Every structure is written in C-alpha cells, then in structure tokens.
Chain A
Amino acid sequence: MDIKEKNKKTQEALVQETATFYFLNSKFDEAIEEFKKVLKLNPANVEAYCSLGLIYENKKQAEEAKKMYEKTLSLDKDNKVAKEHLKKLIGIKDDDKN
C-alpha cells in the first residue's frame, strides 16, 4: 500500500470513529454528516451504509433507511443487522411453514 493510500485509510478510520461516537450518543444529524464523509473516502464502507440505515430508520425516514440497508446488503449479502432491520422495516415476518 503506498503512502497516499495509507493516509486515506487512516483518515477513513478517524472519520468513522467520530461518526460512531456521534451515533452512540444519539447525535444523529452529526453522525449522518460524518458517515457521509466516510463514504466519500471509501464508497465501499459497509458499516457506514448500515449505520446510516439505522439512523434513517430511527428518524422514521423509511425510504432512505431501506436504500441504505439495500446498499449494505449489495456489498455484504450476509450482513445480519441490515437483513434484520430491512425485514422489520418492510414488515416481513419469519414464518416457517407457509
């Protein structure tokens, strides 16, 4: 990894840490801005998409939340958090025998 790439990764990790800090403190508007910055640095950051989904879901912005979970699953099809929340959002119930 060249030095430029390495710096970008470090910067991504730092911004993600800030975003997560805001998320954990329910400062959702600030967290959205920071997660968006993470995605500018790395458009394939699964965690950022999923966290944005959780925030939009919490803000009752269902369409946006759905888009974020779908994006998460397009990058990581087994992502448990995105799968569960997307199901809940759409209203799908697990049923065995139907």
Chain B
Amino acid sequence: MAKKLFGVIGLGTFGSSIARELFKKNAQVLAIDIDENIVNKISDSVTQAIAADATDEKSLENAGIKDCDTVIISIGEDIETSILATLIVKDFGVKNVVVKCVSQWHSKIAAKIGADKVVYPELEMAEKLADSMVSPNILEQIEFSKDYNLVEILAPKDFCGKTIKESGVRNKYGLNVIAIKRQTPFINDDGKTDILEDVNVAPGPEDDIMEHDILVVVGKQEDIEKFKDNN
C-alpha cells in the first residue's frame, strides 16, 4: 500500500510537532512555511520541506500540495492567512483538510469554506488543565461521545482492599473499569529503588483494587460526575 502523503502548512510549535510525529510514524510529509530558517531546521525530520507563501496559490501548487491526501493548516496566529490557505487547498480538491483554530469564529469560518475538521489544541489543553485542577483525582479525561467519557481516576480509599465487584463501581455507579494501572516498587539494575507501572487490561470482577491504583473507567458523564461527588 502506498504511503499516505500529508501536507503541513505553518511550522510553529504545533505544525512542526505534528509534521515530525507523522514522519516518525512512517508517513510521507510535505512541510511548508514562509520562513526559510524554520524550513531548514525541519528539513531532516520530514520527507520534504519547502519555503512558500501559504496565500500564494501558485507557490502551493508548485510545492505539490495538490497531491496530498490530507493537509493540516496550522497557521493559528494569523487568521486571515489560515482562511486563505484553507480556501486554496480546498479549491485544489484535497480530500481532507484539518485546520488548527484559535477561536470559535475562526473555526466557523474554516468550516464554512470547507475544512473537514477543526481542532483547538490550546482550548482543549486549557479545558483538560482546568479539569485536573478542579478534580485532582481525575488524572485524564477523554470524551468518547457527547454523553460518554473515559477517565483515569485515583482509586477512592473506600475501594482499596476490595474486588471490583465488591466496590460497586458498576452496580452503584454504572461505570465499567476497563484497566487498572498499578505502581509497583522494585530495585533496579543499579541497586536503586524505583517504581514501575503495571497495567491490568480488562480486569475481571474478582480482581483486587489496591491503594494508589489508577482506575481507567468508562461511563456516562453524569455517572462519572456522581462518582466524583461521592468519592
């Protein structure tokens, strides 16, 4: 199967990180920025890096953006440039265009002119950080759908020493434990104390919950809230 070709326009922190990650994952990556220094810096970490103006149709065409399966437009700071680039790339007929947005208006305009997906890394990170600050026991939260979430939660004290069944996590709260992360102390090869993380994937109802375990739980947002309030 031919490798997918990704175009990344705008090589700030987000753009250059996504370009490098895609290349590491064995994809072909065409990276574009107007700044030649930035382009030179990334040239060894992508398939091809080109200095071009994202608002110049001819430059983008010459760079080969038309041939990309997916183009990621990560020019967050300059909304006008981001919108023009989105318009040009969609006009080229690129099937999948992802636009990094900095505001709700930016995303609405991007969607109107044909962006297939909009992402807000800064807003999403801010929401996560705020969640973790308000609920320190919630270590990670991923939205599955509008109603369902997956959360990593520190095992409540009441659960410790009980099995999953005995804890009532399912009967009482309607949540499913899909994994248990446990920190196991050990002595490493240098003879020093260290801690290793073990993961019990798909634990059974008779598996024990121990103090300091992290439970990976799936359930309805309202049930997760109820669980958080009671523990």
Contact = CB atoms under 8 A, between A and B. Distances in A.
Interface of A: 20, 23-26, 28, 47, 50-51, 54, 57-60, 80-81, 85, 97-98
Contact of B210 (A26, A85, A97): A26
Contacts of B154: 60
Given A26-B210, A54-B195, 16 more contacts: A20-B187, A23-B185, A23-B193, A24-B186, A24-B187, A24-B193, A54-B193, A57-B195, A58-B212, A80-B190, A81-B188, A81-B193, A85-B195, A97-B20, A97-B41, A98-B16
A47 B193 contact: yes
Interface in B14-43: 16, 20, 41-42
Contacts of A59: 212
A58 B195 contact: yes
Nearest to A22: B185
Nearest to A57: B195
Contacts of A85: 195
5 contacts: A60-B137, A60-B212, A97-B42, A97-B44, A97-B45
Given A97-B41, A97-B42, A26 B212 contact: yes
A13 to B, nearest CB: 14
A58 B214 CA distance: 10
A51 B20 contact: no
B163 interface: no
Majority secondary structure, A binding face = helix
Given A97-B20, A97-B45, A81 B185 contact: no
A47 B210 CA distance: 26
B112 interface: no
A81 B186 contact: no
A54 B187 CA distance: 12
B57 interface: no
Nearest to A96: B45
B194 interface: yes
A54 B194 contact: yes
A20 to B, nearest CB: 6
A20 B194 CA distance: 11
A67 B221 CA distance: 36
A32 to B, nearest CB: 13
Contact of A26 (B20, B45, B136, B185): B185
A80 B188 CA distance: 11
A47 B190 CA distance: 12
Interface string B183-226: 11111101011110000000000000011100000000000000
B193 A51 contact: yes
A24 B196 CA distance: 11
